[in-house]
Amino acid sequence: MLVVALDTSTDMLACAVAAWTPGRDGARADVELLASRDHLCRRRANVELVGTVQTALEDAGKHVSDVDAFLVGRGPGSFTGVRIGISTAKGLARGANVALQGASTLDACAWTAWRAGVRGLVGVAGDAMRGEIYPALYAVEDEGPRRLFERERVVKAAAAVEEWADRADRGELQLTGDGLVRYGRLFEEAGLMARALSRELWWPSGEGLLLAAAGTGIGGGVEAGDPALVLPIYTRLSDAEENERKRLGLAQSAASEVTGVADELAGRHLQLRPMGSADVEAAAALDDACFADANHAPWSAQLFLSELSDDVAAPRSWWVAHDNGQIVGLAGGMVVDTDVQILDVAVAPERRREGIARKLLSHVSYDAQMLGCTSASLEVEAGNEGAIALYEALGFERCGLRRGYYGPGADACVMVAQLPLVLPVDAASPEPTAAAARTWPLSAPARTPEERERIAARELVLAIESSCDETAVAVIDADGALLANQVSTQIDFHARFGGVVPEIASRKHVEVMVGVVDAALEEAAASLGLADPIAPSELACVGVTQGPGLVGALVVGVAFAKGFAFAAQKPLVAVNHLEGHLFANKLTTPDLEPPFIFTLVSGGHTMLVHVRAWGDYEVLGETLDDAVGEAFDKVAKALGLGYPGGPIISRLAETGDPKAIDFPRALNSRGDYRFSLSGLKTAVTLYIENEAKAGRALHLPDLAASFEAAVFDVQYKKAKNALRETGAKEYCIGGGVAANPHLRRMMIEKLSRQGIRVTVPPTNACTDNAAMIAVVARERYLRDEFAELDIDADPNMTL
Ligand code: KG4
Ligand code: ZN
């Protein structure tokens, strides 16, 4: 087998090509190094990685189509570095339809030392930044390094120094790892540097990674390996999660009360939230309905309440799903060391098969991960095949039977899963194929020659969007027909933080990217009446959002797309996300032609643009402070309405009076195209405070409608003025806020009356999506405007 190994978890861009002979009967594989291109490359991994893979393959006299498997370093290491490596590797393996295997970067360091002839006690100190390191001890023997630890962890550098300095065998300890660059002095002061390895060994090598994977201890060999299943090694949480962990540790949910707000929003949509003490009666009733016929007793309200109390011995996580204010599902777990024991899962019988249990379990297990768990376990009645199948789809495996657990003759099946679980994608969009269940690589699609011709004639463009908190993939054809449009939203994961947490966003992109691509390739095939999913080799081109957006989120899409395009041997197109919001209008009005005026209102941008020609954008004005979407989100947060604020406020506004409260309209003079929203936000906050002081209840619909009116009046007036001033006869709008029905209606009605043709994108193409990216990618593809494989994410791109 031809195997390509890559690792960008550290400043070393490790890359090697090897001939790999699998070992028989669990023996180590034989690795013959054919080429190696390891080199230090600080902060340029995304620029250089795919090119380096290509060069290494050339050195070995091979082509990417010869590769049988990719191998990637899963860290731990620099978060962005690990993500670039893993995302690129996922793209490579998915694009070439070959296996992807992961291995620990720390193990790769130990094997790099072994390869250099080092034997004895070796301490790898990986740099974890922020004053921390990943300490890992190995007994390096002739057969190879043996781990003296169970799982990777992160500690303060000083703590690691102390730990190792206290060892009786400290005199034999040979240090290595890139943490020595920054913290070498600390180790030196403790007298531990005397036997440090020479500096060129401090980073992992491609060969070291190959040797680490060749053992039986790590993974199952490179023959297996669905790229959807390879994840970074997690050792630390983001600050937001760390705070959330504390909150969960205190079990504050018991004190939280359901506000009156929930009633006004009831019936709007299915939502998940942590269980509160006000939920326990409903939870007990649901449990009763679910387990009336079961062999075990349902949970009582009292029992649920005790779970939520402050003095539980072990941390708990309980979640409910509600619709119409009614609890339709619940799940909870208890943390015992590094295992979360799932205590109860119940979904209302009439709401089964909607993926509610999967979503609930993913939240409980995510909390558990935040609390340091690496596995989840549960008991299920041995005869309950439906539940067992559900758990298996989430990655649980049967590992034992407890005879008579639920009473005489009623056995419990014990199941265990590694975390993270195989996560579901949002119920609003079809779930991607359960990666755990499929054989990999996929078999080549069965096609007749006519079908092959038909696909080629369509010139399919696949587009990827990952700039914020939606992982989205779409497929469009050369005529502009949208064949697939998949969005996996992470909103549930950010909602409890009241906004997008960049670290969680980029982590989630890595977790779901392959699944969303798979779903899009399946949907595209279905749209064409084909049974087998579109293969990467059947595409014409790959497009990806390059910026602007969250850098950690963008790099995942860009790295994946580059790997995917290179492996599938397809050209790459880079897309500006803002242009995507503009081009979404072409989905509604294909003959839209400049010159026209365009309003961009999203979570990050507020702009009034004179589009003189395609690609020739005159930005007439931007916001001086908050973006419009941001203002919606902040107002919703101030009202305790949850995240994102836009949809919630617009639903409330449906029944409100826009004239009820007179909020200020900023920078409202003619000729001024700038926007300012922070004053309005302050006015709303003050209003809320004053009403509370006066003891008056808020009329939320009036408040929402009045807030909207203040925002949209300004938008309308400035657009109208810009149309007058430029003489343009066309107007269009884009961005998440353009999904707002009141804004859409207002622009269409008022501007049409003045003889302006108004276009609004389809509602689902306003909030972040890949269809709009696909529209831009298609145009660029038709004009041969391709990107090189050394592009990087550009978080600050403008129009
Ligand atoms: O374009 P988008 O999905 O992401 C960015 O590129 O920023 O915009 C997201 C923003 C969020 O602030 C959200 O609150 C807002 O769009 N939004 C809305 C509505 N739906 C989403 N704002 C007002 N009314 C809506 N119906
Ligand atoms: Zn956007």
φ, ψ dihedrals at 575, nearest 5°: -125, 140
Q: Report residue 361 CA to chain centroid gap.
A: 17
Cα–Cα distance between 181 and 258 in angstroms, integer?
Answer: 52
Q: Report residue 572 CA to chain centroid gap.
A: 22
pLDDT in tens, 301-351: 999 988 887 777 788 888 888 775 678 999 999 988 889 999 999 999 888
Confirm or reject: Cβ of 10 under 6 Å from ligand 1. Answer: no
pLDDT in tens, 140-160: 999 999 999 987 888 999 999
What mean pLDDT comes out for the span 165-170?
A: 96
542 pLDDT tier (thresholds 50, 70, 90): very high
> Can you read off the two tokens belonging to residue 372?
């340091």
Instruction: Return the half-sphere exposure (C-beta side, CA atoms, 13 A cut-off) of residue 57.
Output: 22
Confirm or reject: Cβ of 432 under 6 Å from ligand 1. Answer: no
pLDDT of residue 421: 78
What mean pLDDT comes out for the span 546-562?
A: 97
Torsion sign (Cα): 447, 450, 456, 459: negative
pLDDT at residue 410 is higher than 80: yes
What mean pLDDT comes out for the span 656-664?
A: 96
Rounded to 10°, the helix 502-527/239-249 angle is: 100
pLDDT of residue 435: 42
489 pLDDT tier (thresholds 50, 70, 90): confident
What mean pLDDT comes out for the span 754-774?
A: 96
Q: Quick one: 683 exposed, middle or buried, by C-beta within 10 A (0-12, 13-18, 19+)?
A: middle
pLDDT at residue 254 is higher than 60: no
pLDDT at residue 217 is higher than 70: no
Q: Give CA separation, 348 vs 280, 288, 304, in Å.
A: 15, 10, 17
Mean pLDDT score across all residues of the chain = 89
> Can you read off the two tokens belonging to residue 604?
């990050």
What mean pLDDT comes out for the span 540-557?
A: 97
pLDDT in tens, 428-447: 333 333 344 578 889 899 99
Q: Which helix (H) or strand (E) holds 522?
A: helix 502-527
Confirm or reject: Cβ of 604 under 6 Å from ligand 1. Answer: yes
Atom of ligand 1 lying closest to residue 767 CA: 3
- Let me know: does 557 contact 513? Beta carbons within 8 Å: yes
423 pLDDT tier (thresholds 50, 70, 90): low
pLDDT of residue 216: 56
pLDDT of residue 710: 97
Residues forming beta bridges with residue 608, ordered by sequence position? 599, 621
DSSP state of 345: E
What whole-number percentage of the chain has pLDDT above 90? 66
- Of 25-39, 239-253, 487-501, 595-609, highest mean pLDDT: 595-609
φ, ψ dihedrals at 742, nearest 5°: -75, -40
pLDDT at residue 509 is higher than 90: yes
Cα–Cα distance between 796 and 622 in angstroms, integer?
Answer: 15
pLDDT of residue 260: 35
Closest CA to ligand 1's atom 23: 646
Return the best residue to mutate from 465, 598, 607, 737 for the ligand 1 pocket (most ligand atoms within 8 A of CB): 737
pLDDT at residue 247 is higher than 80: no
Confirm or reject: Cβ of 647 under 6 Å from ligand 1. Answer: yes
pLDDT in tens, 17-75: 999 998 887 788 999 999 999 999 989 999 999 999 999 999 999 999 999 999 999 99
CA of 579 to the centre of ligand 2 (A): 10
Stretch among 248-257, 397-406, 526-535 having the lowest mean pLDDT:
248-257
Confirm or reject: Cβ of 761 under 6 Å from ligand 1. Answer: no
Q: Give CA separation, 100 vs 69, 224, 225, in Å.
A: 6, 8, 5
φ, ψ dihedrals at 274, nearest 5°: -60, 145
296 pLDDT tier (thresholds 50, 70, 90): confident
pLDDT at residue 282 is higher than 60: yes
pLDDT in tens, 466-488: 999 899 999 999 999 999 999 98
Rounded to 10°, the helix 645-653/628-638 angle is: 80
Select the more confidently predicted residue: 219 or 796. 796
pLDDT of residue 352: 82
pLDDT at residue 258 is higher than 50: no
pLDDT at residue 16 is higher than 50: yes
DSSP state of 171: G
What mean pLDDT comes out for the span 576-601?
A: 97
pTM for the full predicted model = 0.84
Cα–Cα distance between 212 and 193 in angstroms, integer?
Answer: 25
Confirm or reject: Cβ of 646 under 6 Å from ligand 1. Answer: yes
Cα–Cα distance between 485 and 166 in angstroms, integer?
Answer: 57
Atom of ligand 1 lying closest to residue 645 CA: 14
Confirm or reject: Cβ of 768 under 6 Å from ligand 1. Answer: yes
Q: Give CA separation, 616 vs 516, 591, 609, 610, 619, in Å.
A: 33, 17, 10, 9, 10
Provide the 10 A C-beta neighbour count for residue 188: 15
CA of 629 to the centre of ligand 2 (A): 10
Cα–Cα distance between 249 and 124 in angstroms, integer?
Answer: 32
Confirm or reject: Cβ of 580 under 6 Å from ligand 1. Answer: no
pLDDT at residue 671 is higher than 90: no
What whole-number percentage of the chain has pLDDT above 70? 91
DSSP per-residue letters across 395-459:
T-EEEEEETTTTSTT--EEEEEEESSP-PPPPTTSPPPP-GGGS-SSPPPPP--HHHHHHHHHH-
Sheet holding 339-347, edge to edge: 271-274, 316-323, 326-336, 339-347, 375-381, 412-418, 397-402
DSSP state of 390: H
pLDDT in tens, 337-391: 889 999 999 999 888 877 788 888 888 887 787 777 889 999 998 888 888 888 8
Torsion of CA 60, 63, 68, 74, to 10 degrees: 70
Residues forming beta bridges with residue 18, ordered by sequence position? 3, 33
pLDDT of residue 426: 41
Q: Whose CA is closest to 6, among 215, 209, 200, 222? A: 209
